[in-house]
Structure 1
Amino acid sequence: MTVQPEDFHPAAGFPPGTRDDWRRLAAAVLEKSGAGAGPPEEVLAHETYDGVTLSPLYDASDLPADPGVPGVAPFVRGTRAAGGVVSGWDVRQRHAHPDPAVTREAVLADLENGVTSIWLVLGDGALDPAALPGTLEGVYLDLAPVVLDAGAGTAEAAEAFLRLLGERGVVPAGGNLGADPIGLRARTGVHVPLTGAVELARRAREIPPLRAITVDATPYHDAGGSDAEELGCSLATGVAYLRALTGGGLTVEEAFGQIEFRYAATADQFLTIAKFRAARLLWARVAEACGVPAHGGQAQHAVTSSAMMTGRDPWVNMLRTTLACFGAGIGGAGAVTVQPFDARLGLPDAFARRIARNTHALLVEEANVARVVDPAGGSWYAERLTADLAGKAWEWFQEIERAGGAEAALDRLIPGRLAATWARRSDGIARRRDPITGVSEFPDLGERRPVRNPAPEPAGGGLPRVHYAQGFEDLRDRADRAATRPEVFLATIGPVAAHTARASFAANLFQAGGVATVTSGPLTDPAALAEAFRGSGTAVACLCSSDKLYGEHAAAVAGELRRAGARKVWLAGKGDYEGVDATIHAGCDALDVLRTTFDDLGVTP
């Protein structure tokens, strides 16, 4: 291998580039492409659901304040001071099967194959807290931390676990008793006093490094909320717990040591990276205000988003969770849970759990993601995004505090804010600005999904639980229930080169709702197209061709299709043509198009 000399400078001989140079070149390209006039930063920028502007270009001038160094307040760059070959995050696998024997077997398999901690869901149709001793038989609790998630049964589950520790005479390697009364209210609407969580924290402080409190922010994410909204709600919840814990006799330092935060990680890797970095910055700010800056290193548990998971084409979930795990790892999460790809279908099988485990192994051991602490540190984009996201989250946290804190804000403020964000997100999904691969884009009508045993239904009554794909998947289910699959006739006008792009677009859109498409073939004669339409047996047609051929043939073809019995005539593209009812195009409301098509075809709800 050739080794370059130390004084080698690849950019030597080239004039230095400036932002003005980029503006000039980018403006010329945009003008030529017809994408729009104006400053390139404005034309190419877009906003997140939090109102954070994502620019097309960043440089050193975008860097915020010094983020510090890893392992030191404000902990933006992580709570650990070093990485290394054997380092990595805590690989935490979730288990919710109600059968203790099945869960025990799955837990042991996980621990033998790379998992380092266990997350047990108890109650509400999942595992019975009384079954904990048998479920954890053979598990070395001094080596493998256990995190409990028992909802309204937290006290019972925690008591069973603490009794088990006493019977075995072991000090746990870590873990969490899972007390989260505010999170429980957010999920289920059930009001539980904070006093029970305080009592568990008093007991847990005598068994370090066991924690008692989980601030689960995923209910806000699962209700369709944004990243800053999830962060702000978690911060308000954490502060409420600090007040309760210190009011219950714990020192400020002990109170900080009892709390762990759980956040959702999504396939948007950069926002996920920024979210975990911003969460630490925010919690460090709270610790500084409390006078204990050294104790502000936030314990973080990342779980791949439930909202982003799809029931259709579930294999794509492997890619989504890999990106989410990558983002959480790069973002510095201490523990990461990868949900099995079949999570939307029911209880995962051994294969799905194995793939979830191996996702961690691939990233840590093959991709070396954990070798370096905070790989995103110093990136102009990542640092700016972290700071901007933290700023939006802090504003939301302050709004919650002004409303009386997390508990009071759950009455109206938080649900209203999340609902508004979900409405905006839903519009983006419906218009496919936020594409969902395998569902709103590139659906497979012939897919054969794996069958799984039903998972326990989570308790309802609190914030809604949404899935990004639910609008399209509901229509797919409706189409599958029909006696015959609904179809749309694609009247492809002219040669293949003229109609292929729009025919593919139209087929993709209709199939996203479970509607099959029948293509006429490269015809131009209106009578021939009408004859092909009659043979299709459907009542809805869509014209597909170039703008030029639309100008020559669209009105005539639409008229013949009407005479042949077409109830609705769509056109792929834009423009007004006689006989055409409406158009489909990039940015149109695909869900509205599909629902209208179902009505026109008489598909029952």
Structure 2
Amino acid sequence: MTVLPADGLSLAAEFPAPAHEHWQRLVEGVLRKSGKDAEGSAAEEALSTTVEDGLITRPLYTSRESAPDAGYPGFAPFTRGSKPEGNAAGGWDVRQRHALTDPARLNEAVLADLENGVTSLWLTVGGASGVPVSALAGALDGVYLDLAPVVLDAGGETDAAATELLRVCAERGVDARSVRGNLGADPLGLAARTGAEPDPSAAVHWAQRCVQEFPGLRALTVDALPYHEAGGSAAEELGASLATGVALLRALTDAGLSVEDACGQLEFRYAATADQFLTIAKLRAARRLWSRVAEVCGAAGSGAQRQHAVTSSVMMTRRDPWVNMLRTTLACLGAGVGGADSVTVLPFDHALGLPDAFARRIARNTSTILLEESHLARVIDPAGGSWYVERFTAELADAAWSFFQEIERSGGQGAALRSGMVGERLAATWAARSKNLARRKEPVTGVSEFPHLSERPVEREPVPPGPAEASGGLPRVRRDEAFEALRARSDAHLTATGERPKVFLAALGPAAAHTARASFAANLFQAGGIEPVHDPVSVDTASAADAFRASGATVACLCSSDALYAEQAAAVAEALAAAGARRVFLAGRPAGYSGVDEYVFAGSDVVAVLSSLLDRMDVA
């Protein structure tokens, strides 16, 4: 019979205590084998990665890492969650977004979602992109408004939409104390979307009414999505949301509300991305930062931020949209682990227009699987105590607070939007990120990496066209936009001529010598809609010209090892040029081979290379 030690099961009792320096020496040995000579902290830095906002993620985090005390779930600074029980009381609120303009179709979709796991509704109302305000009652026919919270997104028609929603509730006998949801007043978010001058008067009016008559209803949304969707970083999204929240607090308290009541009228909306650790850290940092704002305003106990996380539209792709299911699953996981109160999973075909019933089903079931089968909500703050997450949360919070202070020094969020300060900052961030996307340092699966040229379009149920998006303010960006433009040119060429532009892969030597670079080149050219021809599998100086002519291609790319390039590249390149190749590429670092016009390699600007190549191939 085995007797356990008095202090429990000592799993590491027979091992010496590990030392950080010992780990560094092991890293030095690995780096040395790869040709890098670094010692001590330099070895650790070699394995570190710079991410958004200049933050650095290191390869190892230990108890030596310093971070502010995260407190306890449900208590200031609320880093570990706004409620003591976290989402363990029943999981997060599964909130489905609806942007149909036909009230009958909207009602059908709403009822189907509520019957199959959705717990609240996010409705686009008014304008050209939402159901008419006058049709809201019909759209909500059969919905138990005392059980299913409704969140409005009505833009400039918020006043009318809020009036109509409350009229419908009263008409159906819903007790004012049972009304839940959010009226969606968001004057600064509307200004960010449209460029209009923000007018907080309607938001203030509805906040006052909610405090007096509807204790379970919030009036205002602090929507950070416009800043994320304009290309902003996580810290910029957080900083802008803080500045917006502070501006609304000022307006509400100036109108006579207490700070506690004003805080209770706000719900914050953030983007959740496929970078699950960034999403977790962002939501935790947001709660800590807002708690600090409430504390400074004299309402420390009211600093529990209500959060609505929405899977990022920036990360969604039009090509190979099935991959979006994986992206939204990771984003939903990050949102849930990060402690979001409500989560909206955008359908996988979001970038193609309004979703059909199948896409909505997959979206709502994403939360269901994570809650019911993965049991994510059974643990309070699952990431709490991770030295990496705690340190990342603290560093992100510091970066966000710095941007928030910049906005405040410029006169507040309204002034920063009017002056262009926010827009310029976000544009600079997106420009830097676009360079990484173009160089595939930030790969987009199915688009810039592993594209599928023969992919069949997604077959969807007939749905009306997508709603017109608000314009006039900050732009909306997507990670796939530069590559999508290239693929669109290829598609147009296919429609006009019956075939795609082609590149002949001139592979030199045996498969062991050329396979890696031939695969790299094929992947790269397909990202621009250029079809690779790799037949025959291998060529030499004598056969290259005939093989190229038979391929039907107008350009060629040499693929092999550095050793074989030194022996054959110049001669084969000149033979290809003589055979009519408009451009001869080589897969590898520039080496000055005669006859080679351009080199493609890891880290090169793929978008610039492919755009120029399509021009040379007369692809409009």
Distance 1:3 1:174 in 2: 56
Q: Is this contact kept in 1: 2:100–2:131, CA < 8 A? A: yes
With over 3 angstroms needed to count, the CA separation of the structure-2 counterparts of 1:4 and 1:134, relative to structure 1, is farther
Distance 2:450 2:506 in 1: 21
Please point out which of 145, 150, 155 is paired with 2:149.
145
What residue identity is the alignment partner of 1:470? Answer: E
What residue identity is the alignment partner of 2:433? Answer: R
What residue identity is the alignment partner of 1:494? Answer: G
The corresponding residue for 1:408 is 415
Please point out which of 479, 482, 490 is paired with 2:505.
490
- The answer to whether 1:352 aligns with 2:356 is no
Distance 2:294 2:506 in 1: 65
Q: Is this contact kept in 2: 1:540–1:600, CA < 8 A? A: no
Please point out which of 150, 158, 163 is paired with 1:159.
163
Distance 2:555 2:541 in 1: 16
The corresponding residue for 2:271 is 264
What residue identity is the alignment partner of 1:190? Answer: A
Distance 1:587 1:4 in 2: 55
Q: Deviations over 1:217-275 (max 9, x none)?
A: 00000001000000000000000000000011111111000000000000000000000
What residue identity is the alignment partner of 1:366? Answer: E
The corresponding residue for 1:177 is 183
Instruction: Tell me how far 1:196 sits from its aligned partner.
Output: 1.2
Moved more, 254-263 or 192-201: 192-201
- The answer to whether 1:242 aligns with 2:249 is yes
SS at match of 1:229: helix
The corresponding residue for 1:535 is 550
- The answer to whether 1:576 aligns with 2:584 is no
Distance 2:505 2:221 in 1: 54
SS at match of 2:184: strand
- The answer to whether 1:552 aligns with 2:587 is no
Distance 2:322 2:84 in 1: 37
Distance 1:63 1:367 in 2: 31
Distance 2:535 2:392 in 1: 49
With over 3 angstroms needed to count, the CA separation of the structure-2 counterparts of 1:494 and 1:280, relative to structure 1, is same
Q: Is this contact kept in 1: 2:123–2:153, CA < 8 A? A: yes
Distance 2:457 2:12 in 1: 52
Distance 2:436 2:14 in 1: 46
- The answer to whether 1:339 aligns with 2:346 is yes
- The answer to whether 1:109 aligns with 2:112 is yes
SS at match of 1:280: helix
Instruction: Tell me how far 1:78 sits from its aligned partner.
Output: 0.1
Distance 1:227 1:132 in 2: 35
With over 3 angstroms needed to count, the CA separation of the structure-2 counterparts of 1:453 and 1:546, relative to structure 1, is farther
The corresponding residue for 1:595 is 611
Equivalenced residue count is 603
Q: Is this contact kept in 1: 2:218–2:265, CA < 8 A? A: yes
Distance 2:117 2:584 in 1: 56
With over 3 angstroms needed to count, the CA separation of the structure-2 counterparts of 1:256 and 1:3, relative to structure 1, is farther
What residue identity is the alignment partner of 1:142? Answer: D
What residue identity is the alignment partner of 2:79? Answer: V
What residue identity is the alignment partner of 1:175? Answer: G
Q: Is this contact kept in 2: 1:303–1:337, CA < 8 A? A: yes
Report the TM-score when normalising by structure 2: 0.95
Distance 2:36 2:281 in 1: 29
The corresponding residue for 1:15 is 16
Please point out which of 469, 481, 491 is paired with 1:470.
481
The corresponding residue for 2:122 is 119
What residue identity is the alignment partner of 2:618? Answer: G
Matches within 5 A, 1:296-307: 296-307=303-314
The corresponding residue for 2:390 is 383
What residue identity is the alignment partner of 2:501? Answer: P
Q: Is this contact kept in 1: 2:502–2:530, CA < 8 A? A: yes
Instruction: Tell me how far 1:194 sits from its aligned partner.
Output: 0.9
Instruction: Tell me how far 1:173 sits from its aligned partner.
Output: 4.3
The runs of 5 or more residues in structure 2 that have no matched partner are none
The corresponding residue for 1:456 is 467
Distance 1:47 1:537 in 2: 44
Q: Is this contact kept in 1: 2:179–2:214, CA < 8 A? A: no
- The answer to whether 1:197 aligns with 2:197 is no
Instruction: Tell me how far 1:4 sits from its aligned partner.
Output: 8.0
Report the TM-score when normalising by structure 1: 0.98
What residue identity is the alignment partner of 1:148? Answer: L
Please point out which of 92, 95, 98 is paired with 2:95.
92
Q: Percent identity?
A: 61
Distance 1:495 1:53 in 2: 42
Q: Is this contact kept in 2: 1:124–1:456, CA < 8 A? A: no
Instruction: Tell me how far 1:488 sits from its aligned partner.
Output: 0.7
Q: Is this contact kept in 2: 1:314–1:449, CA < 8 A? A: no
Distance 1:49 1:35 in 2: 26
Q: Is this contact kept in 1: 2:506–2:539, CA < 8 A? A: no
Distance 2:474 2:557 in 1: 40
